[in-house]
Structure 1
Amino acid sequence: MSGRILIAGGATTRFHQLAERLRDAYLDVSDAPDGRAALEMARTEDPDLIIADARCPALPGLHLCRAIKTDPSLAHLPVVILADREARAERLAGLEAGADDFLSLPLGDPPLLARLRNLMRMKAMVDELRLREETARALGLPAAPEPQPETPGFPTPGLMLAILPDPVSARRRAAQLGAALGIECRPLTCDRDALAAAERIPPDLVMIEPGEGAAPLEAALRLVAALRSRPGTRGAGMVLVLPPSAGEAAPMALDLGVDDCVTSPPDLAELAARLRTLLRRKRYSDRLRDAVRDGLLLAATDPLTGLFNRRYAETHLARMLEQCARAGAPLAVMMLDLDRFKRINDDHGHAAGDAVLRGFAGRLKAEVRGADLVARLGGEEFCVAMPGADEGEARRAAERVRAAVADAPFPVPEGAPIPVTVSIGVAVMPPSATPPPEMAPAAAALAASMRPADGAVAPGLAEPAAAFLRPPRASANRGAAGAARPAPAIARAAPDGAALLARADHALYASKAGGRDRVSLIRLG
C-alpha cells in the first residue's frame, strides 16, 4: 500500500506511535504540530489522506475537517478523525461536518489499514478524474463545478437500495433511511433482485445488512464483489452492516470494495451521516465525470470508437508523467497496431474495417483498468497509458489484450466474422528512471513512418531502447516498394507526452519486426 498521509496530532505519544505503525506499513507519513499547520500543509503537500486528532492543538479535528471540506481546493481530501474514547455526539458532529470516518482508539492494524487503503483508493480515483478535468481545462473545454457543501437536511434526489434478509426489516430500514436522507430507498431481500434492480436503474447508495451466520455473510461479500464489477454500480456508495460476531470480516469487506462498515444494530443517525458523506462524495465524482465526458465528446474523442484522440492523449500523458514523478510511481505506455488492417479494408470494405476498429476498442477497454488512459492515435493505431503499472503488470495487461483480440474473430455488417491480431509495444518508466527524451523534429513523423511487420508479444523482452532503432526485416506490408523504412532519430531533451509515446512506438516497431501477434517491451532508465 502506497500513499501520503498527513497526521495532525500534536506532540502526543499515541500519534507518534500511530505514525510509526503507518510507516511500518510503507506509507509516507508527515506530522503537523497542530491543526493550523496541518491545514497549511494540506494546501502545499497534496496528501492522499489526513488523520486528525479530535483534541489537536490550535485547530481540533472537527474544526480542521470543516475547514478542509468547505475549501473547494481541499474538499476532495479524505479526512479521518481519531478520538481516544467513544463519544456519540462528537462522532456524529464529525461525520456531519464531512469527515470520511471517525474512529476510536485503540484500533488494531488490520481494520485501521483496511479503512485507510479504502479511502486512498477512492482518493486515487478522484485524483484521476480531477487530472482529466484539468487536462480538459488546458484544452479550453468547460471545467467541472467545484464541490459545494450541501445544506444539512436538504433532500437530495437520488436512489438507494436497502438489502436485508426479510421483507419486514427491509421495508422498515428503507423507510428510516429514506426519510433521514431525503432520497428514494427501495427495500430488497434477494441478491438476484438487487442485481437486477441495480441494472435497471443504477443506485447512488447501497446498504447491505446480512443476517447472523457464515453463509449470509459470504453471500453479502459475493454481492459486494458482483456490484463492484458492474459498470452501473461501480461508483455507488456502499455500506455493509455487519453482525457483532462478524467484526473481523470488516477488513476483507473494505478490500473488496465496500466504502464503510458499521456494526449491527446500527445507530441510525450515525448510519445516515455516513451514507450522506458517501452520497456527497459520489455527487462530486459524478460532476467530474460528467464535465469530462460532455466537454470532450467533440474536442478530444474519436467519433468512430469513442476513445480519446491523439491530441488529448499527448496532453494528458504529460500530466500523468508529472504526477507519477511526484508520487515516485512507475508509468507504462502500450502502443497497439492492428495487423494487416489495410487488407481488411481492401478485401471486406471500409464498413467492415470500421466495425473491426469499434470492436477492438471495446475489447481493449475491457482488458485494462478504469483509471488507464485509452486512446486511438489514428488509423489502426491505439495507445494505453497505465499510471502505477510496473513492468510485470504492463506485460500481463498487454498479453490480456493480445489474447482477447486473437481469441475470437470480429463480427462485421456483412459476411463471416474476421480474425484479427494485434502487435503491441510497451515502454515502462520505473519510479527511479530519468524521464524519457523528447521527440526531435524528425520524430514528429515517427508514427507514420514506422510500419514494419505484423503484431506480436515477446514476453520478457527488455533490451536498451537503442536496440530498437534497427530497421525491421523487409515485409510485403510495409509500403509500395515493400522495403523497411528507417526509424527516425530521437533527441534527448525535456520529457513530454509525445516522447513517451515515441518510446512505446519503438517497442511496437520491434514487435512488428518480430512477426505477427507479439508484444515487445522497452524498460526506460
Structure 2
Amino acid sequence: MTTTQHALLVEDSPTQALLIMAELERLPGIEVEHATNLASALEAIAKKRFDAVFLDLTLPDSVGDETVRRFCGAAPELAVVVLTNQDDDQQAMSALEQGAQDYMLKARIDSSSLSRSLRYSIHRKRAEIQVRDARDAALEANRQLERRMRQINCLYGVSRVLESHELPLQVALEEVASLVPSAWLRSETIGVRLTCLNGLLPMGYVESQGFVETPWRLEAQVFAGSIPAGRIEICWTEGRPAEGDEAFAATERELVRELARRIGLAMERACVQKELVQLATTDFLTAAFNRRHFLQLAGAELARAGRYGRPVAVMMLDIDHFKRVNDERGHAAGDESLKAFVNLLRDVLRDQDRLGRMGGEEFAVVLPETSMEAAMVVAERVRSRLALLDIPVGSGAPVRLTTSIGIAECKIRDGEGLEACLSRADVALYRAKALGRNRTEAAE
C-alpha cells in the first residue's frame, strides 16, 4: 500500500505556481496544496500535517533569509525545499543554515527533480530530527549523570561531616547546610535550614547563608531513632524550577529523605552523647553537678582567677536537720525537698556560678568575680528565701527548711588552692551549725 504524502507549495506567482503544481501532481502518491504568501502558509501548516514544503524565497509578506527563518521557526519538524530564480550558491548555503533541507532553481524544475528533492528533503529532515533527538538524549543523560554525581558527592560530604567525632553538632550541621545546595545544578538559588527540636542546638536551628523561606521547597522530617527531632527544609529563592528541571523530581525527593535520615542518625548520637555526659557530670536527682565534675569546674575557675588576678569565693551549704524530713515525711519528701533547694539556688545564682552536690544534703557553690562581702549578700539571700519557702510534698503539710552556710574568699595571691579554700569554707559551715544553724559564717 502506497502512503500518500502531503506537500505545500508557497508561491505568489500564478504562472510559476501552475507549472510547479503540474509537475508535482505528476508524482504518484502526492497531494499538493497551494499558498500565495507566508501568512497563509503558516496558517495552513497549523491546521494540517504536511510532509514537505516548497517555499519561494520572495513572497509579498517576506523576502530572502527572513522567509526561511520565520517558516522553519514555526515548523521545526517540517522538511523545507527553497525555490528561487537565482543561481546563487551563497544564497543556497544561507537558506540551508536557516533551516531548509534543499534548494531548487525554478528554471530547472521538473517532476524528476521534484521527486528527488522531495525524497531527499524528507529523509534529511528525519535524519536531522534523529540527530537532534540523539543529541538531546545524550545531553539529558549527561545532565542526569552530573545530577547523580552531585547527589553522591553531597551525601559523601554530609556523611563525612556528620560522622566526625571532632566536630560539635552545631558546627557539623552548619557545614551540612552549606554542603546541601551543591547537590543541585544551580546551587546559588538554594537555601537550607535544619531545625533541631531536642535542645541540642543553642538557637534550635542552623541555616545556609542568605536563607529565605519560600513556597518553592522540598522538606522532610528528621527522626532521632523513632522520636521526631527536627526538620530539613530546602527552598528555591527564585521560584519553582520548571517541571523536569533541577528540582522536585523523584531523585531529589529521595535525596532529601536520605539527608534527613543521616542527620537524624547524627542527632541520635548527639542525644546519646549528651545523656552520657550528663550522667557522668550531674547528680541524677537534683541535676546539680556531681562532686567530681564540680571540683573540675571549680579548679578551672580558680586557675582563671589566678591568671587575671580576680576574686573568687566558694560557699558550702548544708540543709539543717535534713534527716528529720526523711524520717518523718519519707524519702520521697526528702527528694522533693532537695530538688526544691537546688531550684531556689539556681534562681538566686548567676549563670556563671557553679553549683555542685557534694553528698547527701551538702552542696557547694563557686562564685567567680565575687569578693567575701558580695558572697555574704548572696548567701544571706539564699538563707532568707529558703526559710520562707513552703515545699509541697504529697498530701500533707508543706516542708520548711533552713540552711547553714560557710563562705571563703580564695587567697589566690597566697597560693591557696581549691582544696584548702573549700576546707576553710567547710570549717565556717560547721561553725554556723555549732552556733545554732540557719546562719551564714565567713571563713577566717
Question: Do the two structures share a fold, i.e. TM-score over 0.5?
Answer: no
**Which protein, 1 or 2, shows the higher relative CO under an 8 Å CA cutoff with sep ≥ 6?**
1
| Bigger-Rg structure (1/2) | 2
More strand, by proportion: 2
